[in-house]
Homo-oligomer: A and B are copies of this chain.
Amino acid sequence: MRLKFSLFIAILFVATSTFAVEHPNLFLTAKAVQEIKASVGKYPAFDKSVDELKAIADKALAEKMDVPVPKDGGGGYTHEKHKSNYYAMNAAGIMFQISGNPKYAQFVKDMLLKYAALYPTLDLHPVIKSEARGKLFWQTLNDAVWLVHTANAYDCVYNFLAEKDRQLIEKNLFRPMAEFLSNGNESNYETFNKMHNHGTWALSAVGMIGYAMGDKDLVAKALYGSKKDKKSGFFRQLDMLFSPDGYYTEGPYYQRYAIWPFMTFAQVIQNQQPELNIFSYRDRILDKAVNTALQCAYNGEFFYLNDALYKTYQTQEIVYAVDIAYKNNPSNKQLLDIARQQNSCIVSGEGLVVAKAVAAEKIPAFELKPALLRDGAKGDEGGIAILRSGSGDNQSCLTFKATSHGLSHGHYDKLSMVFYDNGNCILPDYGAVRFLNIEPKDGGGYTKENHSWGSQTIAHNTVTVDGKSDFNGDIKISSKYHSEINYFSVDNPEIQVVSGVERNAYKDVLLNRTVALLTNKAFEFPLAIDIFRVKSDTVHQLDFPFYYNGQLISTDFTIHKNTTNLKPFGKKNGYQHLWLEATGKTDKPTANFTILNANRFYSIITLADTLTEFKLTRIGANDPNFNLRDTPCFLIRQPRVSNHTFVSVIEPHGLYDLTREVTEGYETNLSELTLIKDDEDFSAVKISLKKGQKFLFITANRDFDNSKTRTIIINNKTISFTGNYYFTDIQN
């Protein structure tokens, strides 16, 4: 018995080996507190943020405190209450430091004691929707987010608390919670050690409460994995989850989300263990991650790729990312432009540095630039290409996705394309089917249509073969492969080109797509050329949709609309969610489809042959719970082909000004589109404008080499060029 007890003490000692720490020094530092006190009234954006934080704290102090027994899913009362509780504790903790008013600390103390009383009584959350059920929330993820915020609050009131209260709170709440998050069950252990944003939250939570409690062991686990062998943990995540370009494999929406714990925990590490030089790690990968997140946006709105919802630069996670990134790299002054737009700061040393700089510095505009963001830890798993022409609201932007699957939030969207123009998304990606935090909509989680529709290939602007999704919709297989970028060139800002290939999505079918964003004084606006080659030894049905935002204005082919009876376009793989509104065929060599979006017209001009079928669809079939948006689509079908090359031009044109009642150029400026050569080596497309100008675009289809000189004979003329593509105006 005595032996056992000694052993228990020894184990306990090891498990809780502590180191002396200052408070506050977790995220908010004592030095920052002094600077913040000295800055009152000097920086409006900072003052506003303090006021907002104070309002959160004061509102919470004025209300009856409630720490309810967990019951509801996302959006429900107990869910939202535990969420507002951690925001309230975080706000009150910081306000205690800034104001010195003990009422704030008392509030945090009281609430922590309530949680310390509740937590030991809790089993797993009663809502069973996640494989990783939390205790306070329906998924462990939210428990981790709770702890990230609460660790800050604890740090802020640490010195206010009596030792016995600290012991009670740590023993009944923080240590069991840290244990639960890192090792509570198999699923949590896996998550904690997984290369995934849920893991980042878990280890940030555990690491932060570890630092706050002075618990070296918890910190070491957070930094180096449960086994402290560096095969997982924060550093390993920095190695694995970001590509060398700072791209996060789950896509922009989750990059925005993941950046929050990454940057927050990094700042904590910087405060606590500056010797680790965390912001310099891996060639400043965190800087790159922030920059890449910001670049994955149009007009301040993040790209809707993979599972994505509407998110902007205004979100608090991007405020955190920008402020922390700037503090640790003040040479990146463009970040201040975003901070100025946000008009909000973290109430911390980082936020104050930014507020001061915004007031003092001459701020360069934040530039959204064309970029290739390589995917994969080594940058060798394809990537996302972003083509951009122009700047500001009026920028044209085309995204091209040729990445790896993107973990559990990835879609079967190989070589898919999205087109923005004139401040709007013209050819969209659906993103996720989810009503975040709306309880009546599947508890705020992903709806079943996220799988049956949102992630399927037919939901994306790319080719679906034989009515099946890439890899037959099998994530395990899809995760083994990735597309490849053939080449990417934006050296000439007026001729931006990306080409990619997908060899594995369909058995014995090769997909090769080249898209170019071309700016030329002969064009009204930048236009896109899209060459999609499908190669196979066997015959397939190819469906190539262009989802569009806008209203159909005209087509140059006859449409037969199903005016009195709508049926789904298919039975599975996403097709069951499309109403077939109309069909069409053409006897011309091209088809023209023109829509209106805001004050501009857009034409899709595409090659057609006698077999080509056009389908006009609208999302919404087999949607019993009204979960889907009803985006319309112009779909090109080749019913039976082995080798086929889709060639399309997407042309913005004209003006529709309802205020001044002026209409200009409602018809395409193109008179002709022809594929004048198409073989294993090259595809060559000729565009003729009604005003007479003619242009030739050639892409190499193999042997990609930026320095290679190519020779191609077209109509008995020899054309030579160096590199992978060629674009010129021609005489005939």
A-side residues, CB < 8 A to B, are 74-75, 80, 83-84, 309-312, 314-316, 435-441, 444, 551-554, 559, 561, 563-568, 579, 582, 594, 596, 616, 618, 621-626, 629-630, 656, 658-664, 666-667
Contact = CB atoms under 8 A, between A and B. Distances in A.
B661 A437 contact: yes
A372 B270 CA distance: 65
A629 B656 CA distance: 18
A406 to B, nearest CB: 21
A84 B661 CA distance: 11
A262 B206 CA distance: 73
Nearest to A79: B663
Copies in the complex: 2
Given A75-B663, A75-B666, A666-B75, A656 B564 contact: no
9 contacts: A80-B662, A80-B663, A316-B659, A436-B658, A436-B661, A438-B596, A440-B666, A551-B626, A565-B565
B564 A567 contact: yes
A554 B440 contact: yes
Contact of A438 (B316, B553, B622): B553
Contacts of A656: 437-438
Contacts of A664: 80
List the 8 closest A-B pairs by CB distance, nearest first: A566-B566, A440-B554, A437-B663, A552-B626, A75-B663, A563-B622, A561-B624, A315-B659
Given A310-B658, A565-B567, A566-B566, A439 B666 contact: yes
A583 to B, nearest CB: 13
Contacts of A661: 436-437
Given A566-B566, A664-B80, A440 B553 contact: yes
A347 to B, nearest CB: 15
A444 B663 CA distance: 10
Contacts of A658: 309-311, 436
Given A436-B661, A559-B624, A564-B621, 19 more contacts: A80-B662, A80-B663, A80-B664, A311-B659, A435-B553, A436-B663, A437-B662, A439-B666, A440-B553, A440-B666, A441-B553, A441-B554, A551-B629, A561-B623, A561-B624, A561-B625, A563-B624, A566-B567, A566-B579
Contacts of A596: 435, 438
A552 B559 CA distance: 31
Nearest to A595: B626
A60 to B, nearest CB: 14
